[in-house]
Structure 1
């Protein structure tokens, strides 16, 4: 699909679901899993990237297109209030990514002057953290932690391999973990911490 930078599109996506659960409006997925759904997505240009919003999800009917006979709306018009996905141009992400783990599966990528974190494995390719850091350091093999710099503030904390912040942002400098220890600076004070952020000698 080719679109111009000024386009705002609404597209229709057909899909089946392999999940038994409850939607936001309390509707329980109890119909056969092979029953098709249809989603209306609104796509808007955001600089070099695209923002995708869910407008509507309903059951699909080949005759009426949207199955109004059942009058079951799973999700309705949340585009104005809820951003559900940031889609980054593959060309932009591919050109600006660097491996931050020894197995090269975890990579940081640069968009709009901020770094995010993605996973790039054969069967698992996804963005773990949206671009929000001024920098991301290397993950230690043993501890599985990497130093990250909070954008706009310049203080450091540590995230795990899932992108979860495990040691809060508080350090003016933060080094990589080795044998369960990392050297950091808290103001003018130089410290050594363990993987919980506790000061050790």
Structure 2
């Protein structure tokens, strides 16, 4: 079970059997993981929670970046990476084998073995 206590020792996120990992909070959000039973297999899925443990971005993803940069977080869905916003909306489609975090409005992505640089709308930067 995981939970979160603040510096005063007060619980901000109560202990829960569903949360198996809670990463560092970045502002009011933290990447978190939970186990789900799917087709008789246990899978770890990632989403984002707030400081009270409420789900902000559903636990739909196979992996994810721990923080948002330029308002976007890289997340892995169906084996490929893309980017979502803080509301959980897909902004850049899940097309990539790997992605970096955004810095100065750009991210490096691996698209079918080729490393390219994209902007925060998914457009290739030459």
Give 5+ residue unaligned stretches, structure 2.
1-13, 37-43
Are residues 1:106 and 2:34 paired?
Answer: no
Are residues 1:116 and 2:41 paired?
Answer: no
Bigger RCO of structures 1 and 2 (CA < 8 A, at least 6 apart): 2
Give 5+ residue unaligned stretches, structure 1.
1-88
What is the CA distance between 1:197 and its match in structure 2? Answer: 0.3
Match of 2:88 in 1: 163
CA deviation profile, 1:108-156 (whole Å, cap 9, x unmatched)? 22222211222226xxx52123221110113244x11110001xx3100
Match of 1:183 in 2: 108
- How big is the alpha-carbon RMSD for the aligned residues of Structure 1 and Structure 2? 2.2
What is the CA distance between 1:200 and its match in structure 2? Answer: 0.2
TM-score (norm 1): 0.47
Match of 1:144 in 2: 71
Contact 2:19 2:34 (C-alpha < 8 Å) held by counterparts: no
How many corresponding residue pairs? 106
Q: Which has the higher strand share?
A: 2
Structure 1 pair 118–195 and aligned structure 2 pair: CA distance change class (3 A): same
Where has structure 1 moved over 6 Å in runs of 4 or more?
A: none
State how far apart, in whole Å, the 2-side matches of 1:160 and 1:146 are: 6
**Alignment of structure 1 residues 28-177 onto 2, 5 Å:** 90-99=15-24, 102-103=26-27, 105-112=29-36, 113-120=44-51, 126-141=54-69, 143-150=70-77, 153-177=78-102
What is the CA distance between 1:97 and its match in structure 2? Answer: 1.7
